[in-house]
Structure 1
């Protein structure tokens, strides 16, 4: 089994006073995170800044998971990550020192699978990532099932409308209209909903 390919997004601003206690603390956090990931056997394929190029870089790298290391409020980086994962969702884990409820809610709304406050011990990283991955997979399964259900409902509405048109135009019974749709679908090797949509399109065209 291959190791997870991880992109780390770090909000540290490298420019500034090297004696700045805040910057030094952030640098130490980044180092601890990297060591913890490597010790747990994960494959860090890139460490990226949270800039405007982040969505493009993530699209190029195609990581299995995104980890955000943020000292405090990370709304800007979350916006970039939302854009980067809009078309292809990925599990996102955020390690931060901010326990602000509003920041936490914003992170979860942006698609963060796990929001970890003040918990960057190396021995905790692996179980946290495993739980985040399991949660992401469960949520993705629910979203897929919801999408499938919506798709089936939409197809059913299309079929019902086409049946109604056949019943109105050709004086078919409901069963006769359904059998007509079924026969056309079989003869043209199309789905029932595709034939139904064609009938509706013709009706809309002719008015």
Structure 2
């Protein structure tokens, strides 16, 4: 089984900030996270700061999962993550010390699959990531099903409108109009919705 390719996103520590106690703690957490991931058999392909270049870097790397390590700036980091995954969704796991309800709500709205507050232990990493991946796949399946339903409803509306045009212009019954559509689609080797859309396009072109 192929290793999960992971990008870790963490707080950017600027030169001169090394003596900041909170940033030192952040660095320690980041190291613990990376060690836990490696010990669990995951492939860390990059460790990136949450900056304006993050979307481009993620697009280039094409990771299977994004792990965010954010001490208390989770919202700022999430803004960059949302932009980076807007066009192509990926499972996101957030490890943070920020347990505020509004922060959790914002993270879930941003597409985070798992929000883990405190308690970063190596033995917890694999189960957390497995649950996050399963949840992401389930949500992706539901989105696909919803998109498919919407697409079918849109096609049905197009077919119904085309039938109505045929009935009006050719004096056909509903069944006759449907059979005319089917025959035209078969002759043109097109899907029913495609031939229906062509009929509508011609009607709109002629100003009907």
TM-score, normalized by length of structure 2?
0.97
| SS of residue in 2 equivalent to 1:111 | coil
Residues in 1 aligned to 2:155 and 2:104: alpha-carbon distance in whole angstroms: 38
CA RMSD of aligned residues (A): 0.9
- Please state how far the C-alpha of 1:124 moved relative to its aligned partner: 0.3
1:104-123 to structure 2, matched below 5 A, reads: 104-123=104-123
Q: How many residues align?
A: 207
Q: Is the 8 A contact 1:92 1:111 kept in 2?
A: yes
Q: Deviations over 1:91-113 (max 9, x none)?
A: 00000000011111111100000
Instruction: State the distance in 2 between where 1:88 and 1:14 align.
Output: 30
CA-CA distance at 1:119 after TM superposition: 2.2
The corresponding residue for 2:147 is: 147
Unaligned runs of 5+ in 1: none
Distance in 2 between residues matched to 1:106 and 1:144, nearest whole Å: 23
Gaps of 5+ in 2: none
Task: List per-residue Cα deviations over 1:35-92 (Å, max 9, x = no partner).
Answer: 0000000000000010101000000000000000000132222122111111111000
Contact 1:93 1:115 in 2 (8 A): yes
**CA distance, structure 2, for counterparts of residue 76 and residue 166 of structure 1:** 56
- TM-score under structure 1 length normalisation: 0.98
Report the counterpart of residue 131 of structure 1 in structure 2.
Answer: 131
1:29 counterpart residue number: 29
In the alignment, the residues of structure 2 paired with residue 86 and residue 124 of structure 1 have an alpha-carbon distance, to the nearest angstrom, of 28
Equivalences for residues 71-110 of structure 1 within 5 A: 71-110=71-110
| Structure 1 runs, 4 residues or longer, greater than 3 Å off | none
